[in-house]
Structure 1
């Protein structure tokens, strides 16, 4: 169904979709006018640049270094940082980056390594005035503190599920949080979406993440919109207009009709 309002999926791993062309067509038919394709490592960063070049004006690349993948790249972090820096002029953001203190992640990508990599990308963000897409699972306080202390002024804490105390700091700093399909059922994420002002909210799918048995894709941002609007007690068109405007400004996306 074609919607009467414009939507932006602010976070998707497009290189992981099985049939990207079909997924993009479904997204367009669902009212999506732009997708931010995030990278996680050298391979995916290359892929999102290629995808964005193919779908110029619709797909917008972000280049990242995911904390959960650092164990695979510990010996080449400097090389990956050089790649990100060399290609930042083609990217709308740095991400997905951040910290992850889940025991399975820390067991292979230690906290020291995560902090070193995150600090390096935050420095890049400050140097080139790029927004940062922050992964903060179980590391909410440290993720915020490092971002704030680095002097980064533009950031979105993707799929935030952390404590209210850190959420307040995120919002007071003027950073964004993003709603995913988990807003349909996840208590902490629902609380985040309820408490965040529209001025600080984006929509995303994190596709192809599986939510309660459903493998997501960018077209599902319409479901995110409906759930977020219901949670906030607002008409969907109001939430759509505000969150789309937020994404356009944060990522400096132009030329969207």
Structure 2
């Protein structure tokens, strides 16, 4: 490939890469994935994400707290997580992933607790003017309402409706299109509608693979022909513009 692309969201520190992490990273680099953003989701992966970013100068860290943890987390655990992010705020390019997940959590108590924790993460992103990476499954509109005063927001792996997507774009924020675009009609519809100036690309590795088995940053190139077909814009231009968007929003 004669152009470069950035994977704006992956989890290379996860155990699925323990056997071949180095080779996986090299494979991505070999096909033109010149930078990767690795996102922490809990206290353990926040540490391993930082370690990964310290080892490779082309891997950047965001530190977060998955909404899956919020319902069970004590106030002390939440505070400890916020303190850790704050202690390492100069080592990271963004805060997240964090947010709301109404798909797996259906009770009002669980959802209220997710909102309560998410508000504290938003405050941290605001305090340090860091981009916020949002996981907003089936609650994208609420996540936007809560974070709408921030300067920089990325809706990672966006799967919400087109109306909320347009509101996100109108706010000047970014929609991250995952490798799901290779096989999900809904994500193809989103990719067709979102303006290229507001689009990032991601794999969410090791999840959402467009090929058999585990996803990895190399496979981000599978998204390009699909988006080219959907938008009528050349692969190279899609890679270039989404790359520039990622550099701009995360200050790479």
Alignment of 1:142-153 (within 5 A): 142-148=142-148, 151-153=149-151
- Paired with 2:242 and 2:191, the residues of 1 have a C-alpha distance of 12
- Paired with 2:81 and 2:30, the residues of 1 have a C-alpha distance of 36
Structure 2 counterpart of 1:202, from 179, 200, 203:
200
- Paired with 1:204 and 1:109, the residues of 2 have a C-alpha distance of 32
Alignment of 1:225-236 (within 5 A): 225-236=224-235
Shift, 1:207, TM fit: 0.1
- Paired with 1:92 and 1:37, the residues of 2 have a C-alpha distance of 10
Q: Is 2:4 aligned against 1:6?
A: yes
1:141 maps to which residue? 141
1:32 maps to which residue? 33
Alignment gaps of 5+ in structure 1: none
Alignment of 1:121-140 (within 5 A): 121-140=121-140
- Paired with 1:33 and 1:211, the residues of 2 have a C-alpha distance of 20
Shift, 1:225, TM fit: 2.1
Cα deviation digits, residues 22-48 of structure 1 (max 9, x gap): 110001001011000000011000000
Cα separation, partners in 2 of 1:109 and 1:210, compared to 1, 3 Å: farther
Cα deviation digits, residues 113-157 of structure 1 (max 9, x gap): 111111011111111010011111110110111110xx1110111
- Paired with 2:230 and 2:190, the residues of 1 have a C-alpha distance of 10
- Which has the larger displacement, 139-148 or 227-236? 227-236
Structure 2 residue matching 1:153: 3-state secondary structure: coil
1:78 maps to which residue? 79
Structure 1 counterpart of 2:183, from 177, 182, 185:
185
1:163 maps to which residue? 161
Contact 1:13 1:206 in 2 (8 A): yes
Shift, 1:159, TM fit: 1.3
Q: Which structure 1 residue ranges, 4+ long, deviate > 2 Å from structure 2?
A: 69-75, 104-109, 210-214
- Paired with 1:25 and 1:246, the residues of 2 have a C-alpha distance of 23
- Paired with 1:82 and 1:44, the residues of 2 have a C-alpha distance of 15
Alignment gaps of 5+ in structure 2: none
Normalised to the residue count of structure 1, the TM-score between the two structures is 0.92
Cα deviation digits, residues 183-225 of structure 1 (max 9, x gap): 0121221111111111000010000004364311011111122
